[in-house]
Amino acid sequence: MGKREYDVIIIGAGPAGLTAGIYLGRAKLRAVILEAMTPGGQALFSERIENYPGFPEGITGRELAERMVKQAEAFGTEIKTLCPVERVRLEDGVKVVEATGGPYRSKALIIATGAQAAKLGVPGEGRYMGQGVSVCAICDGAFFREKVVAVVGGGDSAVEDAFYLSRMASKVYLIHRRDKLRAQKILQERLFEQQNVEPIWKTVVKEIRGNEEGVKALLLEKVDTGETRELPVDGIFVAIGRRPATEPFRGIVELDEGGYIVTDQGCATSTPGIFAAGDVRKKSVRQISTAVGDGAIAAYSAELYLERWRG
């Protein structure tokens, strides 16, 4: 097997990709993980993870990622960082991945590139990410018990996040640029039954303000009048959509209308030998624990595929 030839190539070093690397390494298969940035994926933005089994005191996203990396490498899986993938092509069943230092070739491929939450793109958002700015209410909501928070968005995700937060925060503002929500009516009705939820209509966030302790306030602007005001909050949850990282795979595997990869229960895509795991695939729940489960399933499915390949 050549220098850049592997049994399995994994694209993406989030929890799903790292788990797949652990399982494949234990199976004595030659595997490599190609990561565009730093291992950890979206977990890196979680200041503390309290709902991942085995860590009753919680763990930072960075520490969890570092442990996964160490475990994958201990079993022989290579991890190449700063290695963005440009495209994937097929050559008589062989998967050819064009990336930094490539091309890389393998018989099986696992796509675990994840989905990134859309950002507001305002001052303070990057600075306070993980310090009051969050894109996951289920992940971080517990840190805001009896505190004041804002949710930005108008779709199902924003309304569901606001409802979830209303059960722990003292006050929840729902900020939307229009005068009505896109979310399902039944979700809206359930949300506005909560006494501690207040909508702020026809308004956008222009800046997230804070200090060394974290978020302290939002600068808001009315879209119709341009009037601005400062709203004191302890945290802000951005729920304006997610974008799966699937551009290099268009035309290679089937995608749904949102750009997510369609798979079966074994994480197999429409193309034999290509599997998808984690937030990049079409599914209903996107959590670290479900990404880890996907990674294990995809690795097992890839191993079975290789056994059939070898005949």
Of 7, 83, 92, 139, the catalytic one is 139
Q: Which residues pair with 228 in a beta bridge?
A: 221
Active site residue 83: no
* 301 touches 268 (CB < 8 A): yes
DSSP string for the chain? --TTEEEEEEE--SHHHHHHHHHHHHTT--EEEE-SS-TTGGGGG-S-B-SSTT-TT-B-HHHHHHHHHHHHHHTT-EEE-S--EEEEEEETTEEEEEETT--EEEEEEEE---EEEP----TTTTTTBTTTEES-HHHHGGGGTTSEEEEE--SHHHHHHHHHHHTTSSEEEEE-SSSS--S-HHHHHHHHTSTTEEEE-SEEEEEEEEETTEEEEEEEEETTT--EEEEE-SEEEE-S-EEE--GGGBTTB-B-TTSPBP--TT-B-SSTTEEE-GGGB--S---HHHHHHHHHHHHHHHHHHHHHHH-
Q: What is d(CA 235, CA 252) in angstroms, rounded to the nearest whole number?
A: 40
* 47 touches 130 (CB < 8 A): yes
Of 7, 83, 140, 267, the catalytic one is 140
Active site residue 267: no
Of 7, 83, 92, 136, the catalytic one is 136
Q: Which residues contact 284 (CB under 8 A, 6 or more apart)?
A: none
Q: Show which residues are catalytic.
A: 136, 139-140
